[in-house]
Amino acid sequence: MREGKGPGFDVERLAMARGLKIVCGIDEAGRGPWAGPVVAAAVILDPLNIPPGLNDSKKLAEARREALYPAILASARVGVGVAEPDRIDRDNILAATLWAMTEAFGQLGVPVDLALVDGNRAPPLACDTQTIIGGDGASLSIAAASIVAKVTRDRMMIALDRAYPGYGFARHKGYGTAAHRDALNRHGPTPQHRRSFAPIAALLTR
């Protein structure tokens, strides 16, 4: 799996050699934050037109992710699914994440033979699935999905920063930083906060 060299296209090529011609990668962003949605993306790369520089979104600077995002949209088929905080609170974060992945897969709009899913859980999809722990560092398709999911979610959090000033969403993207905790102590939770998450639930019981 190209250890130490970043993601490759080996998993996809092996699948294609077995007759699974249309392969997508699926990943999510935002499972851990206290606020905002969890976003999933599904990407089918063109084997002959893969944008150079794809990698696990967490290993890329924001400017690099923003540069790769339009390149992925221009060269690949992309689907996005968004699970809002109310769904996360109602269903739990795992179920909401799998739902968002299913939505992203459905947005591709074409039949898929194999879905490569980052992590150890895959939703039921209308194709074969293969989970890969650390998949965003092993598969270019998953890496591309990780970038799309991350950029999409970051932009949503920047918009929420304008809607809810004073919380710092544009900076911490909803993660549990000290500044975020301070803002919560001053202002209380917003409708975008995940009330099922322990730090928010604790505030609501004060």
Q: How many other C-beta atoms can be found within 10 angstroms of the C-beta atom of residue 62? A: 11
Say which CATH number the domain at 172 has.
3.30.420.10
Domain that residue 128 falls in: 10-204
CA distance 44 to 204: 42
What tokens does 50 get?
């893969």
Task: Kindly state whether residue 1 falls inside one of the protein's structural domains.
Answer: no
Task: Kindly state whether residue 25 falls inside one of the protein's structural domains.
Answer: yes
What tokens does 147 get?
């970038």
Task: Kindly state whether residue 37 falls inside one of the protein's structural domains.
Answer: yes
Q: CA dist 188 to 24, 93, 107, 162, Å?
A: 40, 22, 36, 17
pLDDT in tens, 15-61: 999 999 999 999 999 999 999 999 999 999 999 999 999 999 999 99
Task: Kindly state whether residue 2 falls inside one of the protein's structural domains.
Answer: no
Q: For the chain, what is the domain count?
A: 1
- Dihedral sign for Cα 42, 46, 51, 56, please: positive
Task: Kindly state whether residue 5 falls inside one of the protein's structural domains.
Answer: no
pTM of this structure: 0.96
Cβ proximity of 74 and 47 under 8 Å: no
pLDDT at residue 113, as a whole number: 99
Task: Kindly state whether residue 3 falls inside one of the protein's structural domains.
Answer: no
